[in-house]
Amino acid sequence: MVEPPRRARVVSLLANFCWVVLDQPGPAGQRRLLCTRRTRLGKSGQAIHVGDWVQVDVIDWPAARAAVSVLEPRCLLLERPPVANITRVVVVVALVEPALDPLQLTRFLITAELSGAIVELVFSKADLLPAQAVEHWLERARGWGYAPLAVSRATGQGVPALQQRLSQPGLAVLCGPSGVGKSSLINALMPDLDLRVAAVSGRLQRGRHTTRHVELFELADGALLADTPGFNRPALPLEPQSLVACFPELRSQLSLEACQFADCLHQGEPGCAMGSQWDRQSWYSQCLQELLSAKRRLAPSLRQDDGGSLRQRGDRLEPRLAAQYRQPSRRRQRQAAEAELTLPDQED
């Protein structure tokens, strides 16, 4: 008798394999399986990410092996690093070692906001700064629209509060630059894991990569936590209006008072509801100028005379192939064939 497929969640990827945890335990309580992926998933363009819900079949219980046959529809996706079906994104930045870069922090917050999930902000290594300096950053972040936490692995400061937030049902993703202490925080929350950590480079004061891939850990019943590799330059959205939506202080103000002009870019233009005195205005402006410059650089490369144009693929714009290089659509091919069949026979 063929066993029906079982539902499981992908908890890590390893080359051409993935580890999954079954929704319901199998014989003898087995839940964790090493799986291959059906070829048809790749051929249909279905990429599997950590956090995805899948269906597995052809289960070999003694060997704890199976095959992923179906990828279930996902909801919220964090693009970088790719984690699916997330509930909240926790942006972790260090107050020192490496020194806090407000522009870099803003870019990470933009990435988190783009996911559509709940965004949390955590300042790590709080024991290395005077309490007054730590409170200064907490107060600034509150003004941006967040409820930040200052934590320290060394003293335990803020760890219970963070654990309480992350123990809520769902999938929380820790992201941030290299060396800010994400893995150390997870060790503080889950001491049995004993994840590998490394000190910051002494000469360059840059973080060292210790986490090489995304992996999910069970923090509490129904609460999963993802550790992710650090990276230092998050991407920006495509459109200016998308950028506006990634600043909670902008969203809040614009919900109370609209700008005079619908296409306002919120850089202190006449009639702008935000003005030019808000805290993150300069960082917002830098991100906006980078976004607009990228669009201007891309525009001249298009050849309108030969049918070229822009199309959106994922989170970026790319040139569309000129008409002579495009494959005719199946719909047009079918319509042409039907038209030929319906043409009346012509007499000599």
Q: Which two tokens stand for residue 260?
A: 């005079």
Segments of the chain assigned to CATH 2.40.50.140:
6-74
Fold type of domain 78-227: Rossmann fold (3.40.50)
Residues 6 or more apart whose CB falls under 8 angstroms from that of 262 comprise: none
Average predicted confidence (pLDDT) for the chain: 82
Q: In the predicted model, is pLDDT for residue 122 greater than 70?
A: yes
Q: How many CB atoms lie within 10 A of CB 259?
A: 17
- Contact criterion met (CB below 8 Å) for 160 and 189: no
Average pLDDT over residues 315-330: 57
Burial of 345 (0-12, 13-18, 19+ CB in 10 A): exposed
- What would be the CATH architecture of the domain defined by 6-74? Beta Barrel (2.40)
- Contact criterion met (CB below 8 Å) for 227 and 188: no
pLDDT computed for residue 332 by the predictor: 73
Q: In the chain, what is the straight-line distance between the N-terminal and C-terminal CA atoms, in Å?
A: 66
Pure H helices in 240-345: 240-244, 248-256, 281-298, 330-342
Segments of the chain assigned to CATH 3.40.50.300:
78-227
Can you tell me whether residue 50 is helix, strand or coil? strand
Q: How many CB atoms lie within 10 A of CB 109?
A: 25
pLDDT computed for residue 279 by the predictor: 93
Q: In the predicted model, is pLDDT for residue 209 greater than 50?
A: no
Average pLDDT over residues 24-32: 88
Average pLDDT over residues 157-174: 92
Q: In the predicted model, is pLDDT for residue 3 greater than 70?
A: yes
Residue 201: pLDDT band with limits 50, 70, 90: very low
pLDDT computed for residue 304 by the predictor: 45
Residue 263: pLDDT band with limits 50, 70, 90: confident
The whole-model pTM stands at 0.76
For 299-320, b/e burial (b = at least 16 CB within 10 A) is eeeeeeeeeeeeeeeeeebeee
